[in-house]
Amino acid sequence: MKDVCFKNAGRIMCKNIITGATGFIGYALCQELLENDEYVIAVVRPGSKNKKKLEKLQGLEIVELELSELELLHKEYQIKADCFYHMAWNGSSGKEREDFRIQRSNIAYMGKAIEAAKSCGCSKIVGAGSQAEYGVCREETREDVTPLSPFMMYGAAKAAAYQLGKILQGKSTFHLYGQGYTVSTAWEKIRGH
């Protein structure tokens, strides 16, 4: 069994699981966590052509799994971690944004991510939201006051995944990325710095 937090050169480091680690936000998050001396377990799809860019990062462990197999992080790999970042999302561009089956599967994958996070002992799970959850907004969008009003399958699925996460976690969640946020500021919010 791998420990969640451990000492390295006198500093406590925590383990972080990131799905979608080869994507725009996931890759930047991997880099940020590694720069802050955190341990990263990057979950990538088997045979991902983008895996090569992750292999260049030092201090990163790569696990190849389909999103439908996230329970294997604990069952097979016996991974324990402090934080689970679910950045993976299918159909985030083009015609797939309106594909009901693809977007419905993303909601199920969020549920699998939350269950995997709990099995791995994670005290926090973070997902990436989207402006598409709010529809067309003429004013500043703030998740604490702006009502959800998606007009496409992608936005509706993001909103549903967020609500599912709140219920399954039994506590409030927040989005990682948005106006005014960089990966650094989001990471500070998560870590409470």
DSSP string covering 141-177:
--TTTSPP---SHHHHHHHHHHHHHHHHHTS---BS-
Domain with 153 in it: what CATH number? 3.40.50.720
pLDDT higher than threshold 60 for residue 46: yes
Give the integer Cα–Cα distance in Å for 44 and 129.
20
Residue 150 CA from chain centroid, whole number: 21
Mean pLDDT of all residues in 24-41: 94
Position 129 scores a pLDDT of 84
Position 10 scores a pLDDT of 56
Position 193 scores a pLDDT of 41
Q: What is the mean pLDDT of the chain?
A: 85
Number of domains in the chain: 1
Give the integer Cα–Cα distance in Å for 182 and 43.
22
The reported pTM is 0.83
Find the domain containing 50 and state its range. Answer: 5-191
pLDDT higher than threshold 90 for residue 173: no
**What's the length of the chain?**
193
Mean pLDDT of all residues in 23-52: 94
3-state secondary structure of 22: coil
pLDDT higher than threshold 70 for residue 190: no
Give the integer Cα–Cα distance in Å for 83 and 14.
8
pLDDT band at 191 (very low <50, low <70, confident <90, very high): low
Q: Do 163 and 113 meet the contact criterion of CB atoms below 8 Å apart?
A: no
pLDDT higher than threshold 90 for residue 81: yes
Return the structure tokens found at 87: 């950045």
Position 144 scores a pLDDT of 79
pLDDT higher than threshold 80 for residue 89: yes
Mean pLDDT comparison of 13-17, 45-49, 125-129, highest-scoring range: 45-49
Q: Do 58 and 48 meet the contact criterion of CB atoms below 8 Å apart?
A: no
